[in-house]
Amino acid sequence: MHSISLQQVIESVKNLPTLPAIVMELLDEIDNEEIDIHVLAQKVMNDLALTATTLRYANSVYYSTQVKVTTIQQAIALMGVSSVKKIIMMAALTGCFPENNCKGFDHKAFWRHSNAVAIAARLLAKHLHVNSDTAYIAGLLHDIGTLVLVTQYPHQYESTLAYRHEHGISQLEAERKVLGIDHSEIGSALVTLWNFPDVMKNAISGHHTPEKPGLGMMATIVHVANAIANALGVSSTPDSQPAEVSAQSWESLSLDLPTIELLEQETADEFARISRDDF
């Protein structure tokens, strides 16, 4: 086995690039719909790499604007602040975790799954009348601990993927068996270091165990959204087999079968707009 301690993880994530300051500001003001778009645009443009990636996503098939988006202000005008916030977050994360050669890990499939969970979480939050932007970002980030393992411990994670395949178990089980730690714990450590809001930290740390006391509703929303994305089979990530949703989650969110089926269909329809090359 290739055990990794939480302290090792904490030390290793210190070597990761920090998220741009604009991302932290967006997280702090995630509920603020009156953000000054001129200030937002200028802050994004101060980071050339973030600007380039943001514009690439803005021009993707998924957002499908009728004209070519060439500036951040134009992106905001055409798509709205909420959509641009999401694009900025996605652009910043892909910059922090570039693709590497971890055998058996598919980066594109990872982001497809993450985006599907984000979409499902946003739709579910909207149904429950809670902040859908928070849910979207929590869904996008829910497996961020996996990226830490892939980028910081590629050889150990290759062994984890091989062990999972050999024994026919889940990603989470394989991580615990091989590494002695799992991606939800690692993700929680990372976003704590990055000073993310507690609602994000709880959703990331608890998306497999939302029944733990004190995690809050967002962990349950992401837990259910993860199951919806897995059930739809939108990617071939290591943990993309249908996940069992805890009975407490169904009860706490008051979800019946017709509602779940509707959410699944809406998620599938929205995800279908993402072209193969977008993420």
Q: What's the CATH number where 188 sits?
A: 1.10.3210.10
Instruction: Write down the pLDDT at residue 240.
Output: 46
Hey, what are 258's tokens?
């017709």
Residue pair 125/131 in contact (Cβ under 8 Å)? The answer is yes
For residues 112-122, average pLDDT: 92
Torsion of CA 182, 184, 185, 187, to 10 degrees: 120
Q: Are 111 and 206 part of one and the same domain?
A: yes
Domain boundary among 78, 96, 114: 96
| Distance of alpha carbon 141 from alpha carbon 233, whole angstroms | 19
Q: Are 41 and 5 part of one and the same domain?
A: no
Domain boundary among 52, 74, 96: 96
Instruction: Write down the pLDDT at residue 276.
Output: 47
For residues 259-263, average pLDDT: 89
> To the nearest whole percent, how much of the chain has pLDDT over 70?
88
Domain boundary among 96, 121, 150: 96
Separation in Å, CA 233 to CA 143, 162, 209? 17, 21, 21
Q: Are 132 and 156 part of one and the same domain?
A: yes
Residue pair 139/120 in contact (Cβ under 8 Å)? The answer is yes
Give the residue among 112, 96, 81, 71 at the shortest CA–CA distance from 14: 96
Better-predicted residue by pLDDT, 28 or 166: 166
Maximum distance among all Cα pairs of the chain, rounded to whole angstroms: 53
Q: Are 120 and 225 part of one and the same domain?
A: yes
Whole-prediction pTM = 0.83
Range of the domain at 178: 1-16+101-279
Q: Are 31 and 144 part of one and the same domain?
A: no
For residues 74-88, average pLDDT: 80
For residues 220-249, average pLDDT: 75
Maximum average pLDDT range among 6-15, 28-37, 109-118: 109-118
Instruction: Write down the pLDDT at residue 2.
Output: 75
Maximum average pLDDT range among 52-56, 78-82, 218-222: 218-222
Better-predicted residue by pLDDT, 20 or 76: 76
Instruction: Write down the pLDDT at residue 203.
Output: 95
Instruction: Write down the pLDDT at residue 91.
Output: 78
Q: Are 206 and 224 part of one and the same domain?
A: yes
Residue 71: pLDDT over 90: no
| Distance of alpha carbon 116 from alpha carbon 11, whole angstroms | 31
By the 10 Å C-beta count (0-12 exposed, 13-18 middle, 19+ buried), 66 is classed as: exposed
For residues 12-31, average pLDDT: 73
Residue 247: how many other CB atoms lie within 10 Å:
9
Q: State the chain's mean pLDDT as an integer.
A: 83
Q: Are 71 and 177 part of one and the same domain?
A: no
Q: Are 177 and 272 part of one and the same domain?
A: yes
| Distance of alpha carbon 3 from alpha carbon 53, whole angstroms | 35
Q: Are 53 and 185 part of one and the same domain?
A: no
Q: Are 91 and 105 part of one and the same domain?
A: no
Please give the tally of structural domains in the chain: 2
Residue 277: pLDDT over 50: no
Residue 198: how many other CB atoms lie within 10 Å:
13
Better-predicted residue by pLDDT, 263 or 50: 263
Q: Are 84 and 141 part of one and the same domain?
A: no
For residues 158-185, average pLDDT: 93
Q: Are 168 and 88 part of one and the same domain?
A: no
Hey, what are 186's tokens?
């690692």
Residue 279: pLDDT over 60: no
Instruction: Write down the pLDDT at residue 52.
Output: 82
| Distance of alpha carbon 279 from alpha carbon 276, whole angstroms | 7
